[in-house]
Every structure is written in structure tokens, then in C-alpha cells.
């Protein structure tokens, strides 16, 4: 059905407002006016007016989402040389750093012989009370000395407010972008998501087709799972040898620490070893007894029932962590997919009419585990290039963008350090111990020596459920648990964890709460009516033979659930936190494209609804 | 009506109702913990008033809508990112506190003063809209006082519907007790309507409206008039959150009657 759409013309259309877009718009807006505030760059679509620079953000506000980070903030500090940290809530200089190797006090986790050897060694030196071993030395590539702990949400809100106050940029939240507009391989703008639609996308009452926003330049900073970036990847492909096969879901919370907590603001704690060796953890302390904490569940954690929430709670209850948290209150919660392919996941960064920045452009450094400042830097680099092109009146062709933006990016520390880090995580394909050795090797030699290797697609790694459980759960019992979960629509990962020896979490209604309560009390998740479902199974027939359905188990918000009678899972968009874990956890590849699986993550409104993150 | 109406809507920010709110005692009295960090929305009742105003303006050629907003400038700026995409209006900003710990009479004075600065406002065509109460203070008296200060004696509260009749009179439905409506007919503007929820859905986001609004919204924010509003002379004896109990369970295939029975037992227990 052809839908008539309204069109609007702007000079530059931007997709997504995160750190990268913050860097882009901050830098470009400064180039738009002179020291007296008089415009320097005239609009090509509204002659006589300043450049029409519009940014569309999917979430209900620009600061939503949960993410505390620790960053050296080099590029950010360059952009704001007089940065007054007191202007930004939840920011603090790093004052103390620790890396803890956590032993398993419960004996429930799956540990290889190599990890058990590490446990033995660490056990001899460990603090018995906290069941952990503090690394006596933090290698330089992991150190965040002179860095900042900050809240991405509060930082983007601060940056966004400054931009809006300038009057030079328009930022529109609550406006998901459904796709790029491509004509003869040139990106000519974007299409906004339809409003007033049914779940299946068909028009409902009050249907308003998404407007086409045409622009000479489209800047795409919609993150690692953004639909516009994904559409560009599908259309233009990836450079030879590049792919996005490495992911993690970061599930995080902001916690009000108990009054007796001794942790100082600026404390940075990273953990390895527990609740599973594959799962890393972090805790960053802000001022006023607030902390950001969480875990990362990676795509090389080879479990057919991997899930995040209960693991997060077990991590919080570890003897090394819990004394700092007991009696605290959950303030917010959420989850997000992280693109961990880094430089290897870099798509085509420019083309006729478009440019990519931020995490979706492969800017994350997978050795240091840092992405915020790198993303900001890519935005700055693009803005400098764009300003140069605008001043010289040159069009936004691929060639011109290569010569203005790409040159800057390739010449920057982001590229240099990203290249060094490129193979840092390859060792994890073979196991945790190999991965840690590989990271160390890469880090200590500046990328000269690596434990490289073939990177499997996530679905290629997932074992059969019975094989996975065989050591502790008999196959017949596994089949029984599976049948029960599918019939009752309950979590299989929970029941498997019960059987594997993980104790029930003692819920206290304040900090340790049920996953649904976390969704509501922590994430304040909601979704406005009138939008189509944004998580869509591409070929439902493929789901008939999929059991257990890992997309259901990993779903951070329990928005995907087993369908009675089998088949494609059901999706409740009002619970979706837009983490995107479903797309890389699906175990059914498409016949036409082995890099892509059977779930499409489209433009959608709503999701996490908290700025305390 | 020839020439349409001049519709002035009073409405400001309230903390997003989904957030966890906690009162704290500060040097100037009670406030909300981390209020400046919490996302804000347009007060829901004022929001309905604004959408009704826009709907009326669209159907009455020559009409114009103003939004007069008392709140911290920085938070209002954030609010505009969502509201300004929905309906066309001209913004008047009064830079001051918007929390619930203020005196309605002071707020009304400031709002009335702000309205009086609107250039070209035709009092003979004035419809003053607002929410019947606010989600911050919920005094339920502010709009009446604004109206009084502006000399508007035709006042309607808890409004859900306004129809401009063929003869130009205004037929207004106000909520009254027992789920009923009082139907009034007002001969002409000026009139005050303090809205309940009305009957209109929230408008979708429209980029063209947003773009047009931003031309006036940003200058309005920059020209914001400072507003002295507080609760001087008032002492708050106590401030507390309503007590709540919470339990969340997900069930499948449970008959609605059984769910209802369980909820009733839980409430009684």
C-alpha cells in the first residue's frame, strides 16, 4: 500500500542523540556563529536563515537509558576546556581504582580447569571474608587514572540543554526514525516512524504517516542497534573482513548506597570471575552516596539459556560487593547492547549524503572497554569536516566526506588506539583464561602481539541445552524443565539456575526486587500507544524448530515470552527496554545472510524512562 | 466568532509521574530530591487544556494560542523538546520555581502579570485555559485567582467539553458530583475554563509544527521574566509520601474474575 507522506527539507538531519551526536552538534554549532553570535553558515534550504540542523531521538527524552561510565574524557575536556563538573549531576573525578577477582562462594558457576587453577592461586592470596583477590597492579591500558565517573544520561542532558539554549540546533526526542531514504545509492534523508499505527504497522485511528525529512547530509549516530544504521549496513554492506559478531548486554542499575557505606565518591571497581567467569562487573561511586553498577553478559558466554537479571543480583550479593550495598535502594535500572567488535565492526563510515559516528561506527575501544569519549571524538571529527565542507561550499559526497571527516578520524587517537585494540578480545573465543591472556598481551604490547583467531557468529557458539546441563542435570529433567517453561511462559534460565545450585534471591523490595518490579520501579518502562511493534520476527517458521528460544531467555525486560503451542515468541512492547539483545541472541540465521538472524529491531518509541542513570 | 479567539493557556512542568519522588527539607523549605535531575512533563491537566486550545484554534480561523509557563527556565527548555512538536503556540516564560511547595495566590499573581505583558492580546476575545488543578500543588484554586486578577468573572471548572455554537455562544460541560455534567452556556468571551481531561487524545509529534514553534520558543526562553514565587511566611508541618504497598506477579491464562478476587483479597488484607 502506497502511503502519501509529507516532506520537510533541512540542511542536516541527525539520527540519535547520544555522546557522539553531542560531540557533533556541539562542535558544529560553534562553527555556525562568530564570536558576536552572528551566523556564519547559511541554510541551503531556507536562504537567509541559519543552517537548519535537526536531530531526532527515539527515546522519550535525550537522557533516558541507564549507563554509568568511567572515562578519561580527553575529547570531552578538549571540547569544554573550562568544564565545571558541578554543573553536571553525578560526575566525579576518579580517586580510587580496584580490580577484583571474585571467587565463587556458592560453587554454582561453570568454571573451566584453567579458571579453577586461577581460583586456587587467587584463593591462596584472597581475602577470605570477601571471597576475592584484589589485583595488586592495574595495567595502564585498564587504568582510569585522572578520569571521571559520570552518568551518560546526565551528561547528555547537560550537553543537550546547552545546545538547545544556543538556539542553533533542534533536538526532538520521542521521534523514532524508521529508515534512511536512499536514492541510487545516495542517502537523501530519513523517514520518521509512523504514528497512530496498530501493532502490525497497519493504520489505526489517528494514523499519521512518518514524515520524510530530506537533507543534503544525514548523520547517523543511533548506536549499535539503531534501525537506520542497520539499514545502511544491509544496503551498503561492510568493508572486507569487517563484521559485528561480538556483543554484550550490559545490565546496570543506579543505587542509593546505605548510610554506612564506606566507599568514597570517585571509587572505581571492576570485577572478573563471578557470577560466571565470562561475566565482568563494575561499580562506580558518585557523590551523595549514589553508585552506578552492573554486569556485562557477552556473546561468548556459551549458554543456551543465558540471561542477565538474576546474574546481576547474584553479583550484587557477592561477599566483596554486598557489604557496600546491603540496605541500599534501587533508583533506576536498565540494559543496553554493546557492540564489542570495535574497529573490526566498523561499517562504511561515509557515503554520498551520509556519515556514521559513535558506537554504531565501531568507535568503541574493546581493550580499555571505553566508548563514551571515543564516540564524542568521532562526532567532533565529523563536525570539523562538515564545517570545512560548508565553508567551501562543497557537496556532501563520499569523496568530500572522506577527505574531510575520514582523514581526521584516521589521524586521531581514536583510530590509533582502536587499531591497537582490534584483536584484544579474540582470545575469548576460545575461553575466558585465553581471553584474559590475550587482552594482557595486546595491552602490554600496544597491539603488536595478539591471540588472534576466527570469530564465530554468536549463534554458532550456542550448545545444545541438554549438553550444557549434562554435568548437573539429567537430560530427562532438562526436557521436563523446558516443557514447563514453555507451557507456563516462565523463565527457563531461572529454573535451570535453580537446578545448577544458584540459590533464590532473597527479595527485599528495595534493592533486590523482582525483574518486573525492576522494569517498573527502576526502568519506569513505558511505551506510548500508536506505534507498530519494533521487535519483529522475520520468518516465524524458523522459530518452530527453536527451543529453548534464547531471545526469550536473554530479554532484559521479559518482553519476549514463549508462545503457547510453540512458534515465534510473543512480544509486549510495553516492557521492552530497547536493549537489542534479542537480535544477536537469536539462534536462527537467515538463509540469505548468515550474518543476520531472524529478529528485526525496528524503530520504536518508549522504553526506559529514567534520567537517573 | 469573527476573528477567532485569543486563547491563553497557563501550564507548567511537573516531575514525570513515573519517577520515584522523595521530599527533602532544604534551606528554603521542602522540595523534591534531585528535582532538577528528574525528567519533567507538562502538567497533565494543563496539557489537556493546551490540546483543547489547539483544537479550538484550528477550527476557529483567526485564533491564536499562547502558553504561559512558570517554571525554571532550564527545565522549561527541556519540556519544549516534547511539547513543541505537538501543537502550535507562542510561549511566554516566567522563570521561577514550579514545585508544589508554593503559594497559589503568588503563582496566580505572577501568571496574571505575565499574561498582561502579551502584546496584542484582545481581552474581548480572551479564553483563559488551564488545568482545574495541578499535579504539583493540586490546590485547585490557582486558575480562578488568575481569572479574578484579570477581571474574568465567567469561570468554569472541571471542564471536559467546549463547543462553539452556531450563534457564537459557548456551551460548556463541567464535571459535577456523581459522574454528571453541568451544562452551561456562556454568551461570549472573556471566559475562564479550568480543564479536567477533556476528550481529545494527545496529538502525535509533528516535525513541521516543531520547526515552526522553535522560531519563537527559543527567543521566548531567552527573554524569560524572573518570577518571585515561594511560600514565605508558610511553615510546612510535615511532608511525606503516600504510603504504598507493592507486589508484582505475572500470570498467564488466569480468568479475570479470579484476578479481581485476588486483588480484592489483597486490598482487604
- Per-residue pLDDT, averaged over B27-53, amounts to 86
Q: With an 8 Å Cβ cutoff, are B39 and A610 in contact?
A: yes
Taking the alpha carbons of A80, A83, A89, A94 in that order, is the dihedral positive or negative?
positive
- Per-residue pLDDT, averaged over A553-580, amounts to 94
Q: Considering the domain boundaries, does residue B242 fall inside one? A: no
Per-residue confidence (pLDDT) for residue A309, from 0 to 100: 97
Contact residues, chain A, for B222 at CB < 8 Å? 167
Q: Which tens digits make up the pLDDT trace of A301-358?
A: 999 999 999 999 999 999 999 999 999 999 999 999 999 999 999 999 999 999 999 9
The answer, yes or no, to whether residue A610 has pLDDT greater than 90, is: no
Per-residue confidence (pLDDT) for residue B137, from 0 to 100: 80
Cβ under 8 Å to B: A residues 193-222: 195-196, 206, 208, 211, 213
C-beta pairs of A567-575 under 8 Å, 24+ apart in sequence: A567/A540, A567/A543, A568/A537, A568/A540, A568/A543, A569/A537, A569/A543, A571/A533, A571/A535, A571/A536, A573/A199, A573/A527, A573/A531, A573/A533, A573/A534, A573/A535, A573/A604, A573/A606, A574/A525, A574/A526, A574/A527, A574/A606, A575/A519, A575/A525
**DSSP at A103:** P
Residue A344 grid coordinates:
573490526
Q: How far is CA A362 from the centre of its chain?
A: 12
Q: Considering the domain boundaries, does residue B186 fall inside one? A: yes
**Closest residue, chain B, to A290 (C-alpha):** B34
Q: Which tens digits make up the pLDDT trace of A468-495?
A: 999 899 999 999 999 998 888 888 999 9
Substitution target from B24, B75, B81 for chain A, most A beta carbons within 10 A: B81
Q: Which of A404-418, B39-53, B242-256 has the lowest mean pLDDT?
A: B242-256
Q: Which tens digits make up the pLDDT trace of A97-132?
A: 999 999 999 999 999 999 999 999 999 998 889 999
Å between B167 CA and nearest CA of chain A: 30
Nearest-CA neighbor of B103 among B227, B195, B225? B227
Distance CA A102, CA A273 (A): 5
Per-residue confidence (pLDDT) for residue B22, from 0 to 100: 80
Per-residue confidence (pLDDT) for residue A66, from 0 to 100: 64
E strand residue ranges, A143-228: 148-151, 170-172, 177-183, 186-192, 195-197, 203-208, 212-220
The answer, yes or no, to whether residue B4 has pLDDT greater than 90, is: yes
Domain boundaries, given as residue ranges, for chain A? 11-81+153-196+212-222+343-420, 423-454, 460-601
Interface check for B20 against chain A (CB to CB < 8 A): the answer is yes
**Closest residue, chain A, to B84 (C-alpha):** A172
Q: With an 8 Å Cβ cutoff, are A509 and B246 in contact?
A: yes
Q: Considering the domain boundaries, does residue B261 fall inside one? A: no
Interface check for A171 against chain B (CB to CB < 8 A): the answer is yes
CB count within 10 Å of CB B191 equals: 22
Q: Considering the domain boundaries, does residue B18 fall inside one? A: yes
Cβ-nearest to A611 among B38, B77, B201: B38
pLDDT interval class at B215 (50, 70, 90) = confident
Distance CA A203, CA B87 (A): 22
Contact residues, chain B, for A528 at CB < 8 Å? 202
Phi first, then psi, for residue B185 (nearest 5°) are -120, 125
Contact (Cβ atoms closer than 8 angstroms) between residue A583 and residue A500:
no
pLDDT above 70: percentage of residues in chain A: 100
Cβ-nearest to B85 among A64, A172, A564: A172
Contact residues, chain B, for A171 at CB < 8 Å? 81
Distance CA A386, CA A218 (A): 11
Q: With an 8 Å Cβ cutoff, are B211 and A526 in contact?
A: no
Distance CA B209, CA A192 (A): 14
Q: With an 8 Å Cβ cutoff, are B205 and A195 in contact?
A: yes
**Closest residue, chain A, to B74 (C-alpha):** A161
Per-residue confidence (pLDDT) for residue A432, from 0 to 100: 96
Per-residue confidence (pLDDT) for residue A294, from 0 to 100: 97
Distance CA A11, CA A52 (A): 5
Residue B226 grid coordinates:
524572573
Give the CATH number, domain containing residue B82.
3.40.50.620
Contact residues, chain A, for B252 at CB < 8 Å? 488-489, 564
* C-alpha dist (Å) from residue A313 to A500, A608, B33: 16, 20, 26
The answer, yes or no, to whether residue A521 has pLDDT greater than 90, is: no
Contact residues, chain A, for B16 at CB < 8 Å? 524, 609
Contact residues, chain B, for A52 at CB < 8 Å? 211
Q: Considering the domain boundaries, does residue B239 fall inside one? A: no
The answer, yes or no, to whether residue A21 has pLDDT greater than 90, is: yes
Q: Which tens digits make up the pLDDT trace of A354-400?
A: 999 999 999 999 999 999 999 999 999 999 999 999 999 999 999 99
Q: With an 8 Å Cβ cutoff, are B201 and A206 in contact?
A: yes
Taking the alpha carbons of A282, A284, A289, A294 in that order, is the dihedral positive or negative?
negative
Q: Considering the domain boundaries, does residue B247 fall inside one? A: no
Q: With an 8 Å Cβ cutoff, are A516 and B39 in contact?
A: no
Å between A342 CA and nearest CA of chain B: 32
Contact (Cβ atoms closer than 8 angstroms) between residue A252 and residue A68:
yes
Phi first, then psi, for residue A211 (nearest 5°) are -75, 150
* Fold of domain A11-81+153-196+212-222+343-420: FAD/NAD(P)-binding domain (3.50.50)
Contact residues, chain A, for B248 at CB < 8 Å? 514, 516-517, 520
Substitution target from A175, A196, A557, A604 for chain B, most B beta carbons within 10 A: A175
Substitution target from A6, A162, A164 for chain B, most B beta carbons within 10 A: A164
Contact (Cβ atoms closer than 8 angstroms) between residue A176 and residue A42:
no
Pairing mode of beta strands B126-131, B6-10? parallel
**Closest residue, chain B, to A160 (C-alpha):** B78
Cβ-nearest to A170 among B36, B210, B250: B210
The answer, yes or no, to whether residue B39 has pLDDT greater than 90, is: no
The answer, yes or no, to whether residue A47 has pLDDT greater than 70, is: yes
Give the angle subtended at the CA of A545 by the CAs of A541 and A546, to the nearest 5°.
105
Place of cell 493546551: B50
CB count within 10 Å of CB B26 equals: 12
Beta bridge partners of A91: A150
Distance CA A314, CA A328 (A): 15
**pTM (2 d.p.):** 0.94
Q: Which domain holds residue B145?
A: 6-226
Residues in chain A: 613
Cβ-nearest to A164 among B77, B204, B205: B77
Q: With an 8 Å Cβ cutoff, are A196 and B18 in contact?
A: no
**DSSP at A516:** H
**Closest residue, chain A, to B248 (C-alpha):** A517
Q: With an 8 Å Cβ cutoff, are A609 and B250 in contact?
A: no
Per-residue confidence (pLDDT) for residue B2, from 0 to 100: 64
Total domains present in chain B: 1
pLDDT above 90: percentage of residues in chain B: 62
- Per-residue pLDDT, averaged over A292-300, amounts to 97
Distance CA A469, CA A304 (A): 10
Q: With an 8 Å Cβ cutoff, are A524 and B248 in contact?
A: no
Contact (Cβ atoms closer than 8 angstroms) between residue A535 and residue A573:
yes
Phi first, then psi, for residue A227 (nearest 5°) are -65, -30
- Per-residue pLDDT, averaged over B151-178, amounts to 95
Q: Which tens digits make up the pLDDT trace of A128-173?
A: 899 999 999 999 988 998 899 999 999 999 999 999 888 899 999 9
Q: With an 8 Å Cβ cutoff, are B36 and A8 in contact?
A: no
Nearest-CA neighbor of A179 among A194, A201, A198, A196? A194
- Per-residue pLDDT, averaged over B232-245, amounts to 77
Interface check for A63 against chain B (CB to CB < 8 A): the answer is yes
Q: Considering the domain boundaries, does residue B214 fall inside one? A: yes
Q: Which tens digits make up the pLDDT trace of A238-287?
A: 999 999 999 999 999 999 999 999 999 999 999 999 999 999 999 999 99
Nearest-CA neighbor of B118 among B251, B9, B232, B261? B9
- Inter-helix orientation angle B104-116/B142-149, to 10°: 40
pLDDT interval class at B254 (50, 70, 90) = confident
Per-residue confidence (pLDDT) for residue B179, from 0 to 100: 85
Interface check for B241 against chain A (CB to CB < 8 A): the answer is no
Per-residue confidence (pLDDT) for residue B252, from 0 to 100: 67
> What H or E segment, with its residue span, contains residue B209?
helix B207-222
pLDDT interval class at B1 (50, 70, 90) = low
Contact residues, chain A, for B80 at CB < 8 Å? 164
Cβ under 8 Å to A: B residues 163-222: 201-202, 204-208, 210-211, 214, 218-219, 221-222
Q: Which of A67-76, A83-92, A457-466, B127-136 has the lowest mean pLDDT?
A: A83-92
**DSSP at A61:** S
The answer, yes or no, to whether residue B36 has pLDDT greater than 80, is: no
Residue A502 grid coordinates:
544458584
Nearest-CA neighbor of B192 among B102, B93, B264, B123? B123
Contact (Cβ atoms closer than 8 angstroms) between residue B22 and residue B241:
yes
Q: With an 8 Å Cβ cutoff, are A62 and B81 in contact?
A: yes
Substitution target from A524, A564, A608 for chain B, most B beta carbons within 10 A: A524
Contact residues, chain A, for B211 at CB < 8 Å? 8, 52, 54, 170
**Closest residue, chain B, to A167 (C-alpha):** B218
Å between A504 CA and nearest CA of chain B: 16
Contact (Cβ atoms closer than 8 angstroms) between residue A133 and residue A125:
yes
Amino acid at each position: 500500500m502506497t502511503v502519501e507522506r509529507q516532506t520537510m527539507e533541512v540542511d542536516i538531519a541527525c539520527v540519535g542523540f547520544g555522546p557522539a551526536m553531542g560531540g557533533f552538534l556541539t562542535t558544529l554549532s560553534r562553527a555556525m556563529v562568530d564570536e558576536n553570535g552572528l551566523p556564519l553558515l547559511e541554510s541551503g534550504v531556507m536562504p537567509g536563515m541559519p543552517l537548519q540542523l535537526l536531530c531526532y531521538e527515539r527515546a522519550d527524552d535525550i537522557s533516558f537509558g541507564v549507563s554509568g561510565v568511567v572515562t578519561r574524557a580527553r575529547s570531552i575536556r578538549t571540547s569544554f576546556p573550562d568544564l565545571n563538573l558541578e554543573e553536571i549531576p553525578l560526575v566525579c573525578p576518579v580517586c580510587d581504582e580496584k580490580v577484583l577477582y571474585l571467587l565463587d562462594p556458592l560453587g554454582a558457576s561453570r568454571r573451566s580447569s584453567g579458571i579453577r587453577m586461577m581460583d586456587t592461586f587467587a584463593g591462596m592470596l584472597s581475602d577470605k571474608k570477601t571471597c576475592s583477590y584484589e589485583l595488586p597492579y592495574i595495567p595502564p591500558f585498564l587504568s582510569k587514572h585522572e578520569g571521571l565517573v559520570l552518568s551518560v544520561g546526565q551528561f547528555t542532558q547537560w550537553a543537550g540543554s546547552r545546545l538547545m539554549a544556543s538556539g542553533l540546533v533542534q533536538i526532538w526526542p520521542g521521534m523514532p526514525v524508521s529508515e534512511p531514504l536512499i536514492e541510487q545509492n545516495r542517502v537523501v534523508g530519513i523517514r520518521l516512524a509512523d504514528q497512530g499505527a496498530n501493532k502490525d504497522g497497519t493504520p489505526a485511528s489517528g494514523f499519521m504517516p512518518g514524515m520524510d525529512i530530506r537533507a543534503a547530509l544525514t548523520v547517523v549516530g543511533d548506536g549499535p542497534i539503531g534501525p537506520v544504521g542497520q539499514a545502511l549496513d544491509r544496503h551498503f554492506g561492510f568493508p572486507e573482513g569487517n563484521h559485528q559478531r561480538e556483543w554484550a548486554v550490559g545490565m546496570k542499575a543506579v543505587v542509593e548506597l546505605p548510610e554506612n557505606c564506606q566507599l568514597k565518591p570517585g571509587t572505581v571497581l571492576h570485577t572478573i570471575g563471578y557470577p560466571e567467569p565470562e561475566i565482568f562487573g563494575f561499580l562506580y561511586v558518585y557523590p551523595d552516596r549514589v553508585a552506578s553498577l552492573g554486569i556485562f553478559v557477552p556473546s561468548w558466554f556459551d549458554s543456551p539459556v543465558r540471561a542477565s537479571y538474576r546474574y546481576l543480583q547474584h553479583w550484587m550479593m557477592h561477599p566483596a560487593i554486598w557489604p557496600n550495598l546491603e540496605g541500599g535502594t534501587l533508583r533506576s535500572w536498565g540494559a543496553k547492547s554493546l557492540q564489542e567488535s570495535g574497529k573490526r565492526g566498523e561499517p562504511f563510515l561515509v557515503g554520498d549524503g551520509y556519515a556514521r559516528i559513535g558506537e554504531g561506527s565501531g568507535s568503541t575501544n574493546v581493550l580499555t572497554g571505553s566508548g563514551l569519549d571515543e564516540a564524542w571524538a568521532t562526532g567532533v571529527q565529523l563536525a570539523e569536516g562538515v564545517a570545512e565542507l560548508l565553508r567551501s561550499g562543497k557537496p556532501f559526497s563520499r569523496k568530500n566526506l572522506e577527505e574531510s571527516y575520514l582523514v581526521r578520524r584516521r589521524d586521531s587517537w581514536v583510530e590509533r588506539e582502536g587499531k591497537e585494540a582490534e584483536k584484544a578480545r579474540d582470545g575469548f573465543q576460545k575461553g575466558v583464561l585465553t581471553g584474559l591472556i590475550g587482552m594482557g598481551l595486546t595491552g602490554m604490547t600496544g597491539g603488536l602481539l595478539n591471540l588472534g583467531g576466527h570469530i564465530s557468529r554468536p549463534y554458532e557458539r550456542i550448545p545444545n541445552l541438554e549438553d550444557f546441563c549434562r554435568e548437573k542435570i539429567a537430560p530427562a529433567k532438562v526436557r521436563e524443565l523446558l516443557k514447563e517453561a514453555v507451557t507456563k511462559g516462565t523463565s527457563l534460565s531461572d529454573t535451570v539456575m535453580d537446578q545448577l545450585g544458584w540459590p533464590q534471591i532473597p527479595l527485599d523490595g528495595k534493592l533486590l526486587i523482582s525483574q518486573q518490579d525492576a522494569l517498573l520501579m527502576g526502568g519506569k518502562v513505558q511505551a506510548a500507544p500508536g506505534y507498530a511493534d519494533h521487535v519483529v520476527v522475520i520468518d516465524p517458521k524458523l522459530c518452530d524448530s527453536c527451543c529453548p528460544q534464547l531471545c526469550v531467555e536473554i530479554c532484559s525486560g521479559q518482553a519476549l515470552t514463549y508462545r503457547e503451542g510453540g512458534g515465534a515468541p510473543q512480544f509486549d512492547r510495553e516492557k521492552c527496554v530497547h536493549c537489542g539483545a534479542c537480535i544477536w541472541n537469536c539462534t536462527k540465521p537467515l538463509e540469505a545472510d548468515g550474518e543476520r538472524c531472524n529478529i528485526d529491531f525496528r524503530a520504536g518509541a518508549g522504553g526506559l524512562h529514567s534520567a537517573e542513570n | 466568532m469573527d476573528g477567532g479567539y485569543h486563547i491563553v493557556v497557563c501550564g507548567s512542568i511537573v516531575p514525570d509521574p513515573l519517577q520515584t519522588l522523595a521530599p527533602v527539607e532544604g534551606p528554603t523549605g521542602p522540595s523534591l530530591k534531585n528535582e532538577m535531575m528528574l525528567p519533567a512533563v507538562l502538567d497533565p491537566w494543563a496539557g489537556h487544556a493546551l490540546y483543547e486550545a489547539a483544537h479550538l484554534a484550528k477550527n476557529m480561523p483567526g485564533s491564536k494560542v499562547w502558553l504561559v509557563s512558570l517554571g525554571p527556565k532550564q527545565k522549561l527548555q527541556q519540556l519544549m523538546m516534547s511539547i513543541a512538536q505537538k501543537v502550535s503556540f507562542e510561549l511566554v516564560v516566567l522563570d521561577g520555581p514550579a514545585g508544589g511547595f508554593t503559594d497559589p495566590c503568588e503563582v496566580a499573581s505572577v501568571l496574571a502579570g505575565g499574561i498582561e505583558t502579551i502584546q496584542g492580546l484582545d481581552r474581548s476575545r480572551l479564553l483563559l485555559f488551564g488545568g482545574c488543578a495541578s499535579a504539583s500543588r493540586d490546590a485547585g484554586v490557582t486558575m480562578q485567582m488568575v481569572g479574578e486578577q484579570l477581571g474574568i468573572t465567567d469561570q468554569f471548572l472541571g471542564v471536559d467539553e467546549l463547543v462553539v455554537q452556531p450563534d457564537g455562544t459557548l456551551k460548556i460541560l463541567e464535571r459535577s458530583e456523581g459522574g454528571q455534567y453541568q451544562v452551561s452556556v456562556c454568551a461570549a468571551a472573556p471566559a475562564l475554563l479550568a480543564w479536567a481531561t477533556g476528550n481529545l487524545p494527545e496529538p502525535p509529534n509533528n516535525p513541521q509544527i516543531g520547526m515552526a514553534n522553535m522560531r519563537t520558543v527559543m527567543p521566548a526562553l531567552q527573554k524569560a521574566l524572573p518570577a518571585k514565587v515561594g511560600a514565605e511566611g508558610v511553615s510546612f508541618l510535615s511532608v511525606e509520601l503516600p504510603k504504598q504497598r507493592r507486589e508484582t506477579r505475572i500470570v498467564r491464562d488466569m480468568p479475570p474474575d479470579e484476578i479481581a478476587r485476588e486483588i480484592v483479597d489483597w486490598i482487604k488484607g
